[in-house]
């Protein structure tokens, strides 16, 4: 998880009205975006069923719309590989979900701090196109995508609506997950969708729509 600071957003989008976050985890970033942009409509989307319940508790009555979906390139259900901490870290305890659950199977089933399920569960899936249609969204000012190696599938679900500014996790891909992509490959995908790379920020990249 990594929240983009308000200053970085308003440099390109001075007054964002519609903000979408995919891979919202426990809602920490969505809450920060709501604090920064009190009049914005925030849509917070998380596929992990355990973390979605935590998201519900954390959001409470903060006027943030929350949804249990994996945002990908199809509508229906998809496989989701749960990951759990094996040690106490980041305020979490052994057995609780780590930050790494994803649609793509991991290259390694375990690490010093977490382990992945051998068998995936099924979670509800939707595309950006279908989600926007479902929620009557006609423009997106800012989008935060943190989907643990499944960014290509998210981008494949794009239609005519192009977010003005996208903050995406691009540094965790083929080095961690099966059938994923490199950061340079992600840059090319965004370029093909008429985005320019504004800045690499550790494992994330900021893209601006130029269409």
| pTM attached to this predicted model | 0.92
pLDDT per residue as tens digits for the range 138-151: 999 999 999 988 99
The yes-or-no verdict on residue 111 having pLDDT over 60 is yes
Whole-number pLDDT of residue 174 = 79
In terms of DSSP H, where are the helices of the chain?
6-10, 28-36, 49-59, 128-134, 151-156, 183-192
Q: Which stretches of the chain are assigned E, i.e. beta strand?
A: 18-22, 41-45, 64-67, 70-71, 76-80, 83-85, 114-116, 121-126, 142-145, 165-169, 195-201, 204-209
The residues facing 81 across adjacent strands are 102
pLDDT bin (cut points 50, 70, 90) of residue 2 is low
Whole-number pLDDT of residue 122 = 97
CATH 3.40.50.300 is right for the domain spanning 17-76+131-209: no
pLDDT bin (cut points 50, 70, 90) of residue 163 is very high
d(CA 170, CA 210) in angstroms, rounded, equals 19
By the 8 A CB rule, do 102 and 177 touch? yes
Average pLDDT score, the chain: 92
Q: Break the chain into its structural domains and give their ranges.
A: 17-76+131-209
pLDDT bin (cut points 50, 70, 90) of residue 113 is confident
pLDDT per residue as tens digits for the range 174-187: 788 878 899 999 99
The yes-or-no verdict on residue 204 having pLDDT over 70 is yes
pLDDT bin (cut points 50, 70, 90) of residue 137 is very high
The yes-or-no verdict on residue 33 having pLDDT over 70 is yes
Segment 58-70 shows an average pLDDT of 91
Number of CB atoms found within 10 A of residue 193's CB: 16
d(CA 206, CA 118) in angstroms, rounded, equals 33
Distances (CA, A) of 116 to 45, 84, 147: 21, 6, 15
Whole-number pLDDT of residue 173 = 78
Please list, residue by residue across 25-54, b when 16 or more beta carbons sit within 10 angstroms of its beta carbon and e when fewer do: bbbebbbebbebbeebbbbbbbbbbebbeb
By the 8 A CB rule, do 85 and 111 touch? no
Percent of the chain at pLDDT > 70 equals 99
Question: Of 157, 159, 179, 181, which is closest to residue 74 (Cα–Cα)?
Answer: 157
């Amino acid at each position: 998880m990594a929240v983009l600071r308000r200053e970085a957003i308003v440099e390109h989008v001075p007054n964002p009205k519609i903000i979408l976050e995919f891979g919202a985890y426990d809602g920490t970033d969505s809450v920060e975006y709501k604090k920064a942009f009190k009049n914005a409509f925030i849509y917070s989307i998380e596929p992990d069923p355990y973390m979605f319940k935590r998201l519900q508790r954390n959001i409470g009555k903060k006027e943030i719309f929350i949804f249990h979906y994996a945002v990908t390139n199809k509508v229906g259900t998809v496989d989701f590989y749960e990951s759990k901490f094996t040690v106490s870290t980041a305020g979490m305890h052994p057995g609780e979900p780590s930050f790494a659950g994803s649609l793509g199977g991991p290259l390694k089933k375990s690490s010093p701090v977490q382990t992945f399920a051998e068998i995936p569960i099924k979670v509800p899936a939707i595309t950006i196109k279908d989600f926007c249609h479902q929620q009557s969204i006609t423009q997106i000012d800012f989008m935060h995508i943190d989907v643990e190696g499944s960014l290509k599938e998210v981008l494949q679900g794009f239609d005519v609506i192009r977010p003005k500014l996208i903050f995406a996790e691009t540094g965790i891909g083929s080095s961690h997950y099966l059938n994923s992509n490199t950061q340079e490959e992600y840059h090319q995908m965004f370029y093909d969708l008429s985005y320019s790379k504004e800045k690499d920020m550790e494992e994330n990249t900021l893209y601006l729509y130029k269409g």
